[in-house]
Structure 1
Amino acid sequence: MASFRRSVSCLSQKASRNSPEEIALVERPTINGHVKLSESDQFGSVGFVDFWPLTVKKAVKASCATFEQFEVLVERANEWLEENDDFELINCESLDKKVIYVADVYSQSLIYADEDANTHAVHIIGLRLWYCKRLSSNDTKNDRLQLDFIDILPFYLNPGEKEPRFESVSSTVDRINATLRHTPLQGRILSIVSVNLTLAEDIWASGAQINTCQTRWFDEFNTHNLIFIRIFFLVGPPCHELIGLKDFSPRIIKSGNVFQPAQYSTISELVSMIQDWIRMVGGNNVCCFFFTYLHLF
């Protein structure tokens, strides 16, 4: 029986950028953002806090720097939760930001600068917590929350061959559940996310051990994408939960051809399908939703 492990062995748009001298001085490890709801809303206000890795080996360009591991971000998030124990933790997710300079990591900008002959972009992985704060003075503070996570890589099916093959996501989920039946998580599942890694050709072809906690990944012409599953959970008594996934695709309204693209149903219709499914599954813990963009040829 396979066991879980913390895998430590385990839009392009032109944008203005600071000069290297200014960039070297910028450090903002935490970014807060808030979305204010109406005062009558029972949940008060919704907010998020981002945690980005700091540099262990400093540099101006992100491709030359060494960054903290993802587990350090979780430790920092737990410190934040301890200091803000009147918040209700809703969800959390892994973030992927493409940057050129170290300062870009801590910027709230949603665009990144185009690469040129003298610059090289990398992917930086961060952590975002979503929370709400109760407005009622009668609400009691939560028990101390402690966040943890596990990473599950897909099995490598043909080691040693030039073109590697990995097991399907459904096979990975089945393998996870087989383990959870015998070794439940020490806590309650908060969120399940898929994380995309950009692997260099030599790592991809060799089947070498992958460190999923690494927070900097190169984006080169010959890189390959590998997706693994990350489960976030709140530490506590085992809840004996199994995981699952459900995919929803837009309905094809009109088929396309070489001269005209296909037409699909609206996002509102897709959301309606999801709502119907949630009502059907009843008391299951539906913990997260993700929209995936597929490039069709």
Structure 2
Amino acid sequence: MTEKIGEPATPETVAASCPPPSYEEVMGHQTVGYAKATSPADLPPLSYIDIMPRLLDPGHIESKVTPQFDKFSVVIQAANMWLAGNPSYAVWKCETVERKVDKGAVIVMEKMIYHEATFGFNVFIRGLRLWLTKKTNPSEPVQQLGLMNVVPQKVAVVPTHMGYGPQINMNNGIQINIGRRRRRTGYVTISDAEMLNNMVIPSMNVSFEGLQTTLNKLNEDLKSRPLPGTVLNVETTTMKTFEGFGGNGDMDPDQTCWHEDGNKYKRFTQIIRVFYVIGQPANEQIMIEDFIPQVTRRGDLMKASQFETWPKVMSRVSTWIPNQQGIRIVNLQTQYTKYTEYNGEVRVASDSTDDYVTNLSDRKLIKLMRVFYVTRPGPPSPQTGHLSARTFLPVRKSRRDFESMSETMFRITAWLKVTGMQIFSVETHQFLFVEGSVSGVEQERCNIINQGMSGKHFITAISVYFAYPFQEPHASYLPPVYTIYDPNNSQSSSCVII
């Protein structure tokens, strides 16, 4: 790919590269949803459909043979086939969703908790979630989606020694020696090269350009080759690059299935994924704004740094949005990124697209809010008010048993109908499971320690965003939830949801 910028994956380009599956083949396998309405007029306030890749080869997970699935471009084609067969619906938001593949190559979309073995063999799959609405104008043409994958460009890494001071040999031949920079701002946002100062591994002879540099190159490319349509969503997606020592950083952005072997080193790379509605070019430029939790107490040799809570981060997002002119926000994405502490200074690798992981050591991760927005020629977009958010967690029934996705969506629908709130955006994301918490997660905490030597569970949640504040309705107006499970009480039993 020229400058590692992916070409749009339209139905025509996909059809030219591989035989298209039949509609029955696509829609008859691994497709679930919550568009449970007899007609678009009965569509719930928040509805979705998941389109997952078809299984091509089951492999044998027990023997560490990874199953094979369709490419993501074929998933986009399947989504367009579904839209063509359901012309009364439109997609107002789409996102990549990831699920663990169980033994027998079974994808369980309804399950809201999954286990990631530390030293076992984990297989994952990614598909497409379409958030649906009723088409406002029935005479409009059927909506069709396109996709552009943007892969960061490689840079050569020439390590000189462990610690500070490796030289980063860029493609233009310039060598940059980071040295001992110090800032007293509480936290520092750093690039890929700076993060590598802390963990140079001899086999890592390549890294990747940072997120902002990659985005700048994309926007330059879009000036001469604009997207054939209007941006629907932009997200960062983590792709596996290789496993074990060595490797040149190559990855397939169209890949849907990958595995992780806990006994080996793993490397992951962030790519930018642009979803758009095919049509006349809107000549849009894509921007990113990261909101990083601020340090509230500097750490030292005896204690770690402390960070502000997630509501404080979202409050800053809410203040920032109304002050922006002429932009259109296309996505709000919760992102976990690595950070380091040194002499009380916190370094957050929010710009890094390269991550080298081993289960032999703990990893410090911090949660940030990534706002994607676009600008375009012509009249400015309507002003957005103060943002508010409501995260819906699956109800915890017992120690490691949570309600299903359908049950969670039922409660979300009831909440939206009672409050009458108009949805601004929506997001599917994961929390690290915390057994001692009543809900199973620490929702307000921004930093986590991902322990390397122990297995982990993750909880799926749905966050819904609104353009103005909301008031939480009284519990009597919502479906009752009788929870009698308490993780701190061994005599407690499971909950019953009515």
Q: TM over 0.5, yes or no?
A: yes
Counterpart selection for 2:329 from 283, 286, 291:
286
Of stretches 265-274 and 153-162 in structure 1, the one that deviates more from structure 2 is: 153-162
C-alpha deviation, 1:103, in angstroms: 4.5
Partners of 1:63 and 1:109 lie apart in 2 by 24
Shift of 1:295: 4.7
TM-score by length of 1: 0.78
Q: Secondary structure at the match of 1:206?
A: coil
Distance in structure 1 (CA, Å) of the matches to 2:34 and 2:267: 33
Q: Is 1:189 aligned to 2:231, yes or no?
A: yes
Give the greater-gyration-radius structure (CA).
2
Corresponding residue for residue 75 of structure 1: 77
Q: Deviations over 1:78-134 (max 9, x none)?
A: 1121223222321111122233424442432122345498x6212211111112237
Residue identity (%):
23
Tell me: CA distance 1:263–1:162, structure 2 relative to 1, closer, same or farther (3 Å): closer
Q: Which position in structure 2 is the counterpart of 1:149?
A: 147
Deviates more, 1:168-177 or 1:119-128: 119-128
Identify the match of residue 170 of structure 1 among 212, 225, 240. 212
Residue 52 of structure 1 is matched in structure 2 by 52
Quickly say closer, same or farther: Cα 1:7–1:86, change in 2 above 3 A. Answer: closer
Offset at residue 261 of structure 1 (A):
4.5
State how far apart, in whole Å, the 1-side matches of 2:280 and 2:287 are.
Answer: 21
Q: 1:278 to 1:102 in 2, by over 3 A?
A: farther
Which runs of structure 2 are paired with 1:5-154 in the superposition (5 Å)? 5-6=6-7, 28-33=29-34, 45-59=45-59, 61=61, 63-113=65-115, 115=117, 120-133=121-134, 139-141=136-138, 142-154=140-152
C-alpha contact 2:67 2:105 (8 A) present in aligned 1: no
CA deviation profile, 1:215-252 (whole Å, cap 9, x unmatched): 11121221101111111110000000011100001232
Please say if residues 7 and 212 of structure 1, whose CA atoms lie closer than 8 Å, have aligned partners that are also in contact: no
Q: How many angstroms apart in 1 are the aligned matches of 2:273 and 2:297? A: 37
Distance 1:202 1:253, change over 3 A: closer
Tell me the TM-score normalized by structure 2. 0.49
How many residue pairs align between the two structures? 267
Question: How far, CA to CA, are the matches of 1:111 and 1:103 in structure 2?
Answer: 17
Task: Tell me: CA distance 1:154–1:2, structure 2 relative to 1, closer, same or farther (3 Å).
Answer: closer
**C-alpha contact 1:46 1:133 (8 A) present in aligned 2:** no
- RMSD, matched Cα: 3.1
Residue ranges of structure 2 left out of the alignment (5+ in a row) = 10-27, 38-42, 159-201, 340-363, 365-498
Paired AA for residue 252 in structure 2: N
**What one-letter code is carried by the residue in structure 2 that aligns with 1:129?**
L
Tell me, in whole angstroms, the C-alpha distance in 1 between the residues paired with 2:217 and 2:118: 43
1:146-198, Cα deviation, whole Å (9 max, x unpaired): 00101111111128983112111111001001100111000001111111112
Question: C-alpha distance in 1, partners of 2:143/2:260?
Answer: 35
The correspondence for 1:225, drawn from 268, 271, 277, is: 268
- SS where residue 176 of structure 1 aligns? helix
Work out whether residues 54 and 70 of structure 2, in 8 Å CA contact, stay in contact via their aligned partners in 1: yes
> Secondary structure of 2:285's match?
coil
Instruction: Give the number of the structure whose residues are more often strand, by fraction.
Output: 2
Q: Cα distance 1:7–1:224, how it changes in 2: closer, same or farther (>3 A)?
A: farther
SS in 2 for 1:144: coil
Aligned counterparts of 1:218 and 1:238: Cα–Cα separation in 2: 38
Say if 1:258 and 1:130 are closer, same or farther in 2 by CA, change over 3 A.
farther
Change in CA separation of 1:257 and 1:77 when aligned onto 2, cut-off 3 Å: same
On the 8 A contact 1:63/1:218 being kept in 2, the answer is no
For each residue in 1:52-93, what CA deviation from the matched residue of structure 2 results, as whole angstroms up to 9, or x when unmatched?
Answer: 111112345384321100011111111121223222321111
State which of 265, 274, 281 in structure 1 corresponds to 2:317. Answer: 274
Structure 1 runs (4+) greater than 6 angstroms displaced: none
Contact 2:99 2:109 (C-alpha < 8 Å) held by counterparts:
no
**Which has the higher relative contact order, 1 or 2, with Cα contacts under 8 A spaced 6 or more apart?**
1
The residue aligned with 1:15 is none
Q: 2 CA distance for matches of 1:204 and 1:224?
A: 10
Alpha carbons of structure 1 residues 88 and 259: separation in structure 2 relative to 1, 3 Å: farther
**Equivalent position amino acid for 2:103 in 1:** Y
Pair 283,114 (structure 1): closer, same or farther in 2 beyond 3 Å: closer
- In structure 1, give the amino acid aligned to 2:208: F
